Amino acid sequence: MRDAKQFWDRSAARYAKSSIRDQAGYEKKLAITREYFRPDWSVLEFGCGTGSTAILHAPFVGHIVATDISDRMLEIARQKAEAASIDNVIFRQGTLDSLEFEPESFDAVLGLNILHLLEEVEGAISTVYGLLKPGGVFISSTALVGELNILWRAVIPLMQAVGLAPFVNRFRRGELVAMLEQSGFSIDREWQPGKGSLFIVARK
């Protein structure tokens, strides 16, 4: 955990300046997510990074708790929220393991571009299930590292060795879907914008 925090603290400024690779795909994910939102909903986003998605979703729900392991990421997120006059997003530093929330206290949980960065994916999914109200939704977007081109998979350890890449989990689509279903979720919607990524809505 400490190594991950240091990596993302160090990467925060560069991450904040990076552009979205697939803007059309990103917009589609936003639109699908908002089909589920309700104006009074309580939402948790873990691994929120610099807060861009939480800020864009904020007008469509009651409030959002957005968390990240990196203090530096959250500093930038708070600055963005203030600049956008968004006051219904609370940013908290920590992880699903370190932060304490009441069971069944959220209508939706967002885990966007984060599951493949976790060592204990199954445990995280189980935690999310417990935090959701009955009928609540877990919306995730993740890289399927196990389905990437073999050359990319070979490059990742080299990048990690020189501090240019964090830990990545190499699960495949079927493994992720199985973990969700074994935790009690039913798959409500699934979309693959490319072979190496998956956007999924799972309902409790």
- Give tens-digit pLDDT for 14-34: 888 888 889 999 999 999 999
For residue 201, the model assigns a pLDDT of 98
What percentage of residues in the chain have a pLDDT greater than 70?
Answer: 89
Domains and CATH numbers, the chain: 2-203 (3.40.50.150)
- Give tens-digit pLDDT for 153-204: 555 555 545 554 556 777 899 999 999 999 999 999 999 988 889 999 999 9
- Give tens-digit pLDDT for 64-102: 999 999 999 999 999 999 999 999 999 999 999 999 999
For residue 141, the model assigns a pLDDT of 96
Q: Which residue has the higher pLDDT, 167 or 125?
A: 125
Lowest mean pLDDT among 28-42, 48-62, 154-168: 154-168
Listing DSSP states for the chain in one string gives -HHHHHHHHHHHHHHHHPPPS-HHHHHHHHHHHHHH--TT-EEEEES-TTSHHHHHHGGGSSEEEEEES-HHHHHHHHHHHHHTT--SEEEEE--TTTS---TT-EEEEEEES-GGG-S-HHHHHHHHHHHEEEEEEEEEEEE-GGGS-HHHHHHHHHHHHTTSS-------HHHHHHHHHHTT-EEEEEEEEETTEEEEEEE-
For residue 156, the model assigns a pLDDT of 54
pTM, full prediction: 0.90
Quickly state the pLDDT bin for 125 (edges 50, 70, 90): very high
